[in-house]
């Protein structure tokens, strides 16, 4: 695929076939991940590939518990957005997705901050885009972090390692299509030189 076609058509996939994903394709995705830029070239990332059904079942239980907690929180008067319609199918069936990828970031024990994300999320984006180029669906989720200690205990993840995401990987279910995605135009989310100034836009002649 052309690179920009990959970017313009990569989208969140929440319904998957149960067909297996070959180790060769998983390796390509991980190999693309480790090519990403990262602060100081520390490369302090680790990627857990979960294929075992028993572990996926246990992850599914934790993920559903986290989804329910998040949904309760989202329905309170402060934030009345109901997240169930889009995410619930994945919540109920995430254990049936053939591969669950968990990118992790090693650290010194300090509190997390935005800079730490700069070490891992470019790699995560490489994973999502590479999967799309191979005809595989993904969706980046972080809801599991509401019960991250349970996730870490299940996967034997050390204390000085954080999970950055839980990414289902598989072939999209029948009827599920890739993009194009709907996004706000550049003119609505950009300024020239200073905040709240003229938006950056190309005027069509």
pLDDT of residue 205: 37
Q: For residue 174, what are its two tokens?
A: 């029948």
Domains of the chain: 3-177 (3.40.109.10)
Report CA-CA distances (Å) from 153 to 55, 70, 136, 158, 163. Answer: 12, 21, 29, 8, 12
pLDDT of residue 95: 95
Render pLDDT for 40-97 as a digit per residue (tens, 0 to 9).
888 999 999 999 999 999 999 999 999 888 877 655 555 545 555 455 678 889 999 9
pLDDT of residue 181: 87
- Whose CA is closest to 151, among 114, 104, 112, 119? 104
Q: What pTM was computed for the model?
A: 0.88
Render pLDDT for 28-54 as a digit per residue (tens, 0 to 9).
999 999 999 988 888 999 999 999 999
Residue 102, sorted as left (phi over 0), alpha (psi -120 to 50) or beta, turns out to be beta
pLDDT of residue 29: 98
Kindly state the average pLDDT of the residues 120-132.
96
Other Cβ atoms less than 10 A from the Cβ of 63: the count is 25
Q: What is the rounded (10 degree) CA torsion for 190, 191, 197, 199? A: -60
Kindly state the average pLDDT of the residues 112-127.
82
Distance CA 138, CA 146 (A): 21
Render pLDDT for 135-191 as a digit per residue (tens, 0 to 9).
999 999 999 999 999 999 999 999 999 999 999 999 999 999 998 888 999 999 999
Model confidence band, residue 118 (pLDDT cutoffs 50, 70, 90): confident
């Amino acid at each position: 695929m052309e690179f920009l076609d990959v970017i313009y058509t990569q989208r969140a996939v929440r319904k998957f076939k149960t067909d297996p994903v070959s180790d060769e394709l998983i390796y390509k995705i991980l190999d693309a991940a480790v090519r990403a830029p990262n602060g100081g070239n520390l490369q302090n990332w680790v990627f857990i590939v979960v294929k075992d059904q028993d572990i996926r079942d246990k992850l599914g239980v934790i993920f559903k518990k986290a989804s329910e907690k998040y949904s309760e929180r989202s329905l309170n008067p402060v934030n009345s957005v109901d997240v169930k319609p889009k995410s619930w199918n994945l919540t109920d069936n995430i254990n049936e997705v053939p591969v669950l990828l968990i990118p992790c970031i090693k650290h010194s024990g300090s509190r997390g901050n935005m800079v730490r994300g700069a070490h891992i999320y470019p790699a995560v984006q490489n994973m999502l885009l590479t999967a799309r180029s191979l005809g595989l669906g993904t969706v980046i989720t972080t809801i599991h972090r509401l019960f991250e200690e349970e996730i870490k205990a299940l996967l034997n993840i050390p204390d000085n390692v954080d999970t950055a995401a839980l990414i289902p990987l598989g072939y999209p279910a029948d009827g599920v299509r890739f993009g194009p995605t709907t996004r706000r135009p550049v003119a609505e989310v950009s300024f020239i030189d200073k905040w709240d100034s003229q938006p950056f836009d190309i005027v069509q002649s």
